[in-house]
Amino acid sequence: MKSIIIGTGSYIPKIIKKNSDFMNQDFYSEKKESIPSSNKIIIEKFKGITGIEERRYLEPELQNSDAGTIAAKKAIEDANINPEEIDQIIYSHNFGDIRSGDTQSDMLPSLASRVKHLLKIKNPNCVAYDMIFGCPGWIQSLIQADNFIKSGTAKICLVISGETLSRVIDPHDRDSMIYSDGAGACILKKGNDDTKGILSYAAQSFTYDESNYLFFGESNKIISNINTRYIKMYGRKIYEFALNNVPNAMKTAVGKSGVPIEKIKKILIHQANEKMDEAIIKRFYGLYELDVPENIMPMSIQNLGNSSVATVSTLLDLILKNNLGSHEINKGDAIILASVGAGMNINAIVYQY
């Protein structure tokens, strides 16, 4: 039997950071030189490439695990299950808990253990652990949970994703405008219908030349605290890597599923960059010599930014709760979940509702 999603939840932070809020930012290049272009031009070019108009930042009194707990509670309520029935809690993230105004990452105990504690689950056989897999972490956690369910060692899994990238960004780096915060969760359970649920997946890790495309580095501006490190990336290399590899992984997953490409109703792809995502989908359908179907790719990046592991999980929850415009997922629909990120890692799932 297939593993099915029986409940979803998400937490969208309340603090809205608009593009105009960066108008007085001091931006510097990788060479630590002041950028000659005005911030107005920098922001206009940024929006034209990424599609981002605003993003969400987590409230100061909350941490990553708090947001994940809120999303988890919503998923548990949506699934209408007893939390004590959960066999595994998997939390995908990259930087752990970081207090507002601090730069130190805290992952002891694991975020999954913290969520289990906050949910007040007493069952010691509910195993809680974290997944560190870059932006594709939530999809990889689904793949892992699915395999445990198929093996018979778990029946119900709580799969969470959450990140607070606003607390690891270099304010003097233009790329800092991409990142945001958020959390999503779902309940995965063994189904009783072999035609529904996770049909197939594909996953790859490219590390020979690509492992450091995303990394921790020093600020673009010469500052006194040179020991502080921030999230950094080689944007052009990531764009080319994603375009050359993600469509192939998606096609592999579709091929394994047995679902004709024409039957795919939605593709929920990691909300990294609007132009990049559009190029990936175009390249993907090009592999079948087809045009991109209308309304196939829901987007949330315009208003929510790039929240890393949380983009696909929150996107799914928004659609299922009818909170993303005209986008909807109905019974019988086959969809693709896909992501790419630090590692460099790639994965894709074909799921049948």
Closest CA to 113 of 126, 103, 99, 104: 126
pLDDT, position 224: 59
For residue 193, name the pLDDT band (cuts at 50, 70, 90).
Answer: confident
Distances (CA, A) of 84 to 75, 114, 191, 314, 346: 14, 15, 19, 24, 33
Of 339, 334, 353, 351, nearest in space to 260 by CA? 334
Summarize pLDDT for 19-61 with one digit per residue, the tens. 999 999 999 988 888 888 899 999 999 999 999 999 999 999 9
User: What are the φ and ψ backbone dihedral angles of 177, each rounded to 5 degrees?
Assistant: -70, -15
Q: Is 97 helix (H, G, I), strand (E, B) or coil?
A: strand
Using only C-alpha atoms, what is the Rg of the chain?
A: 20
Q: Give the tens place of pLDDT for each residue, 245-272.
A: 999 999 999 999 999 999 999 999 999 9
Confidence category of residue 200, pLDDT binned at 50, 70, 90: very high
pLDDT value at position 31? 87
pTM confidence score: 0.95
**Span 222-230, average pLDDT:** 78
Q: Which two tokens stand for residue 181?
A: 């915060």
Under DSSP, the state recorded for 280 is: H
pLDDT of residue 344: 96
* C-beta separation of 319 from 328 below 8 A: yes
Asked if 259 and 67 count as a contact pair (C-beta separation under 8 A), the reply is: no
Residue 249: the pLDDT is: 97
Question: What domains are there in the chain, each with its CATH number?
Answer: 3-190 (3.40.47.10), 197-352 (3.40.47.10)
- Secondary structure of the chain: what % helix, strand, coil (to 5)? 35, 25, 40
Tell me: the pLDDT tens digits for 307-317?
Answer: 999 999 999 99
**99 is written with which tokens?**
């207090």
CA–CA dist 161, 217 (Å, integer)? 24
Supply the pLDDT for residue 294.
92
Say whether 70 sits in a helix, a strand or coil: helix
